[in-house]
Structure 1
Amino acid sequence: MRKLFVLWLISLTLNTMAQQTPYERSHKTETTTYAEAISYYEALVKTSTQAKLLTYGNTDFGKPLHLLVLSKDKIFDPVAIRKSNKRILLINNGIHPGEPEGIDASMMLARDLLKADKLPKDVVICIIPVYNIDGSFNRTGTSRANQNGPVAYGFRGNSKNLDLNRDFIKTDSKNSAAFQLIFNTWKPEIFVDTHTSNGADYQYVMTLIPTQRDKLNSILSGYLTEILVPDLYKGMEKLGYPMIPYVNAVNETPEGGITGFIESPRYSTGYTTLHNTIGFMPETHMLKSYDLRVDATYKLLQTYIDLVERDAKIIGENKQKADEFVATQEEFPLEWKLNKNEVNDLTFKGFESGQKPSVVSGAGRLFYDRNKPYTKIIKEWNKFEPATTVKKPVAYIIPKAWDKVITLLKLNGVKLEELKSDVKISVESYYISDFKTMSRPYEGHYVHSAVKVNPVQQNLQYYAGDYVVYANQAVNRYIVETLEPQATDSFFNWNFFDSILDMKEHYSAYVFEDTAAEILKKNPELKVKLEEKKTSDEAFAKNAAAQLDFVYKNSDYYEKTHNRYPVARLITNVKLDLK
Structure 2
Amino acid sequence: MRLIPLAIIALSAASASFGQSTAPLPGLPAAVLPPVQPWSGASERLVAAATDAWITPGERAGFATTPRYAETRAWLERLAAASPLIRIETFGRTAQGRDMLMVRASKGGTDKPVVLIQAGIHSGEIDGKDAGLMLLRDIALRGKDSLLDTVDLVFVPIYNIDGHEAMSRWNFPALRGPAEKGHVATARGINLNRDYAKADAPETRAMIALLRRLDPILYVDCHVSDGFDMQYDITFTYAGWGRYAYHRATADWLTGRFGPTVTTALERAGHIPTLYPSPIDTREPAKGIRQAPEGPRYSTGYGDFIGVPTVLVENHMLKPYRQRVLGTYVLLEAALKLAATDRDRITAAKATDRASRPATMLARWKPAATPIGWIDDFKGIAFATYRSPASGRLEQRWTGKPITFRMPIIGQDPVETVTLPTAWWVPAEQAEVLDRLRLHGIRFEAIDAPRSLALDQVRLRAPVVQPAQDGRFPLKASFDHVAVTETLPAGTIRVPSDQPLGLLAAALLEPEAPDSFLAWGFFPEMLTPASTPEHFVAAPLAEALLGNNATVRRAFQAKLKSDPIFAADAVSRLKWLFAQLPDHTSSNLLHPIRRELSANAPVS
User: How does the TM-score come out when normalised to structure 1?
Assistant: 0.89
The alignment status of 1:20 with 2:55, answered yes or no, reads: yes
- Structure 1 SS opposite 2:415: strand
2:319 aligned with 1:288:
yes
Of 339, 360, 384, the match for 2:368: 339
Structure 2 CA distance for partners of 1:385 and 1:125, relative to 1, 3 Å = farther
**Equivalent position of 1:354 in the other structure:** 384
Cross-structure match for 2:84: 49
Matched AA of 1:215: A
User: Which letter maps to 1:47?
Assistant: A
Secondary structure at 1:388's aligned position in 2? Answer: strand
User: What one-letter code is carried by the residue in structure 2 that aligns with 1:446?
Assistant: F
CA distance in 2, matches of 1:362, 1:424: 65
What is the aligned partner in structure 2 of residue 322 from structure 1? 353
CA distance in 1, matches of 2:311, 2:550: 62
Contact 1:429 1:564 in 2 (8 A): no
Q: CA, structure 1 residues 71+569, in 2 after alignment: closer, same or farther (shift >3 Å)?
A: same
Does the CA-based 8 Å contact 2:451-2:489 persist in structure 1? yes
Q: Deviations over 1:60-109 (max 9, x none)?
A: 1212322111223x13xxxx42xxxx432211111111111001001111
For each residue in 1:406-432, what CA deviation from the matched residue of structure 2 results, as whole angstroms up to 9, or x when unmatched? 12211212222222x331331414232
State the match for 2:204 in structure 1: 176
- Per mean C-alpha deviation after superposition, the further-off stretch among 277-286 and 432-441 is 432-441
Decide whether the 8 Å contact of 1:427 with 1:568 is kept in 2.
Answer: no
Q: How far did residue 563 of structure 1 move?
A: 2.6
In 2, Cα distance between the equivalents of 1:340 and 1:52? Answer: 52
Q: 2:493 aligns with which of 447, 467, 488?
A: 467
* Structure 1 position 460, deviation (Å): 2.1
Query: 2:16 maps to which residue?
Result: none
Report the alpha carbon displacement of residue 133 of structure 1 after superposing the two structures with TM: 0.9
- Distance in 1 between the 2:428 and 2:391 partners? 59
Question: What's the offset of the Cα at 1:205?
Answer: 1.2
Equivalent residue for 1:303? 334
TM-score normalized with structure 2 length: 0.85
Residue in 1 that maps onto 2:436: 408
Structure 2 counterpart of 1:88: 114
Matched, 1:529 2:558: no
- The answer to whether the 8 Å contact 1:247/1:254 transfers is no
Contact 1:204 1:244 in 2 (8 A): yes
2:262 is aligned with 1:232: yes
1:434·1:453 contact (CA, 8 Å) conserved in 2? yes
Note if contact 2:458-2:594 (Cα within 8 Å) is conserved in structure 1. Answer: no
2:426 counterpart of 1:398: yes
Compute the displacement of 1:138 (Å).
0.8
Question: Against the structure 1 CA distance between its residues 451 and 236, is the aligned structure 2 distance closer, same or farther, given a 3 Å change threshold?
Answer: farther
Determine the C-alpha separation between the residues in 2 that align with 1:435 and 1:21: 56
What is the DSSP-based 3-state SS (H/G/I as helix, E as strand, rest coil) of the residue aligned with 1:376?
strand
Distance 1:363 1:257 in 2: 22
What amino acid does structure 1 have at the position aligned with 2:437? L
Q: Residue 294 of structure 2 corresponds to which residue in structure 1?
A: 263
**C-alpha distance in 2, partners of 1:172/1:408?**
9
Aligned counterparts, 1:67-106, within 5 A? 67-72=102-107, 74-75=108-109, 80-81=110-111, 86-106=112-132
Whether the 8 Å contact between 2:374 and 2:407 is mirrored in structure 1 is yes
Higher mean C-alpha displacement, 243-252 vs 109-118: 243-252
Give how far 1:141 is off.
1.8
* Alignment match, 1:118: 146
Q: Does 1:278 align with 2:278?
A: no
- Whichever residue aligns with residue 310 of structure 1, its letter is T
Amino acid at match of 1:87: P
SS of the aligned residue for 2:453 comes to strand
CA contact 2:287–2:408 (8 Å) conserved in 1: yes
Q: Secondary structure at the match of 2:82?
A: coil
- Compute the RMSD of aligned alpha carbons: 2.3
Alignment check: 8 A CA contact 1:199 1:247 kept = no
Whether 1:244 and 2:274 are equivalent positions in the alignment is yes
Does the CA-based 8 Å contact 1:207-1:282 persist in structure 2? yes
CA distance in 1, matches of 2:390, 2:495: 59
Equivalent in the alignment of 1:484: 510
Higher RCO, Cα 8 Å, sep 6+: 2
Give the SS at the match of 2:140.
helix
Query: Judging changes above 3 Å, is the alpha-carbon distance between structure 1 residues 439 and 393 closer, same or farther for their aligned structure 2 residues?
Result: closer
335-344 or 475-484, which deviates more: 335-344
Q: What are the Cα deviations for residues 451-491 of structure 1, in whole angstroms up to 9, with x where unaligned? A: 4232332222312x432222211111111110111110101
Aligned to 2:460: 433
Paired letter, 1:217: H
The answer to whether the Cα contact below 8 Å between 2:532 and 2:575 also exists between their aligned partners in 1 is no
Distance 1:435 1:275 in 2: 33
| Matching residue's letter, 1:458 | T
SS in 2 for 1:46: helix
CA–CA separation in structure 1 for the residues paired with 2:94 and 2:290: 35
Equivalent residue number for residue 190 of structure 2 = 162
Partner Cα separation in structure 2 for residue 544 and residue 368 of structure 1: 63
Q: Which residue among 431, 441, 448 is the counterpart of 2:475?
A: 448
Deviations 1:369-418 (A, max 9, x none): 11x2112221112x334432222222222222212211221121222222
Percent identity over the alignment?
27
* Partner secondary structure for residue 253 of structure 2: helix
- The structural deviation recorded for 1:261 is 5.0
Structure 2 gap ranges (5+)? 1-47, 600-604
Do the aligned residues in 2 keep the contact of 1:200 with 1:254 (CA within 8 Å)? no
Q: Say whether the 8 Å CA contact 2:218–2:308 is kept in structure 1.
A: yes
Deviations 1:167-202 (A, max 9, x none): 112222111111111011111122111111110211
Q: How far apart, CA to CA, are the structure 1 residues paired with 2:131 and 2:276?
A: 20
- Matched with 1:3 is none
Q: Residue in 2 aligned with 1:512? A: 538
Q: 1:151 aligns with which of 162, 179, 182?
A: 179
Specify the code of the residue in structure 1 equivalent to 2:469: Y
Matched, 1:131 2:166: no
**One-letter amino acid of the counterpart of residue 118, structure 1:** S
CA distance in 2, matches of 1:206, 1:406: 40
Tell me the amino acid that sits aligned with residue 554 of structure 2.
V
> Which residue in 1 is equivalent to 2:99?
64
Aligned residues: 546
Q: Is the 8 A contact 1:447 1:495 kept in 2?
A: yes
Secondary structure at 1:38's aligned position in 2?
Answer: helix
Give the whole-Å Cα distance in 1 for the aligned partners of 2:560 and 2:530. 27
